[in-house]
């Protein structure tokens, strides 16, 4: 059955980080299909060799009739983040939505196996990235007195039995608390801040993780997260903020 889009995000401007593949790409394409102007952000290349670039995702969106701008950005680098946000404002004049999706996952290592460099690298991508990107867009959102920040969380940040390990689970737990505290901080400016936990997905990255094969058939395509992301993108501080949302908590027909 063909999905029906109702332009819920018509005229909105959204930045999606880590959108060269997987969940980020799926959310960026869903936003564009709902009428948003989407800034697709990603690093220049995957350190693990996975395919996909920000430019390619943006091109796919434009080929489908949407509006998108592909930008290279390492979210752990303040100068690159500020440049990305500046270019967004230069091109589109505003920022309505930020999806902090970019991140990395180190698996199968005990605390004693994790080198300080690896620890710092994960903290930089998974926690410093959302901090830098949120800090960069907030002046514009505060001036607008509106906006929505969506931080991609994980069940591994709430349940130690999910197998995330001490490093990844710690970064995601920190992202959850960062989101809840930031939601309170910016509520007076009409800005919503929420956490979206996508659950088990069939992505290029997860396919390379051995233990995901145990529940591969129960996992869903990243496109299944799109409707929940759209719902959160359209929220304000007065409607829905400071919450942890599980994928598919909101159906495709919300607001119809």
Tell me the mean pLDDT in the region 196-202: 71
For 148, residues 6+ apart whose C-beta sits below 8 A from its C-beta are 96, 97, 98, 191, 192, 193, 194, 232, 233, 234, 235, 236
Looking at residue 120, what is its pLDDT?
Answer: 96
On the question of pLDDT at 216 being above 50, the answer is no
Q: Which of 179, 206, 201, 203 is nearest to 191 (CA)?
A: 179
Catalytic residue at 92? no
Under DSSP, is residue 79 helix (H, G, I), strand (E, B) or coil? Answer: helix
Q: Which of 178, 180, 157 is nearest to 241 (CA)?
A: 180
- Inter-axis angle of helices 22-33 and 54-63, nearest 10: 30
Q: How many CB atoms lie within 10 A of CB 77?
A: 16
What's this model's pTM, rounded to 2 decimal places? 0.89
Rg (CA), the chain: 17
For 65, residues 6+ apart whose C-beta sits below 8 A from its C-beta are none
Q: What does the alpha-carbon distance between residue 136 and residue 125 come to, in Å, rounded to a whole number?
A: 16
On the question of pLDDT at 246 being above 90, the answer is no
Single out the catalytic residue among 92, 131, 168, 231: 168
Could you give all domains of the chain from N- to C-terminal order, each with its CATH number? 13-246 (3.40.50.720)
On the question of pLDDT at 98 being above 80, the answer is yes
On the question of pLDDT at 160 being above 90, the answer is no
Express each pLDDT in 127-156 by its tens digit. 999 999 999 999 999 999 999 999 999 877
């Amino acid at each position: 059955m063909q999905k029906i889009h109702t332009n819920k995000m018509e005229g909105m401007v959204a930045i999606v980080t880590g959108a060269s593949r997987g969940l980020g790409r799926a959310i960026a394409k869903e936003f564009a299909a709902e009428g948003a102007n989407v800034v697709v952000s990603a690093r220049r290349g995957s350190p693990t060799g996975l395919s996909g670039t920000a430019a390619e995702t943006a091109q796919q969106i434009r080929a489908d009739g949407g509006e998108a701008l592909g930008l290279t950005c390492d979210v752990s680098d303040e100068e690159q983040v500020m440049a990305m946000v500046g270019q967004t404002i230069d091109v589109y004049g505003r920022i309505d939505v930020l999806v902090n999706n970019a991140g990395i996952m180190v698996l199968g290592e005990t605390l004693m196996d994790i080198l300080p460099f690896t620890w710092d690298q994960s903290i930089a991508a998974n926690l410093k990235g959302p901090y830098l990107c949120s800090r960069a867009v907030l002046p514009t959102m505060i001036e607008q007195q509106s906006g929505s920040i969506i931080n991609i969380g994980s069940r591994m940040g709430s349940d130690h039995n999910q197998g995330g390990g001490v490093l990844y689970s710690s970064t995601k737990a920190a992202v959850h608390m960062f989101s809840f505290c930031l939601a309170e901080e910016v509520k007076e400016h009409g800005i919503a801040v929420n956490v979206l936990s996508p659950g088990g997905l069939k992505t290029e990255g997860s396919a390379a993780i051995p233990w995901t094969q145990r529940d591969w058939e129960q996992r869903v395509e990243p496109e299944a997260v799109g409707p929940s992301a759209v719902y959160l993108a359209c929220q304000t501080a007065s409607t829905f903020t400071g919450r942890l949302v599980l994928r598919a908590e909101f159906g495709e027909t919300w607001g119809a």
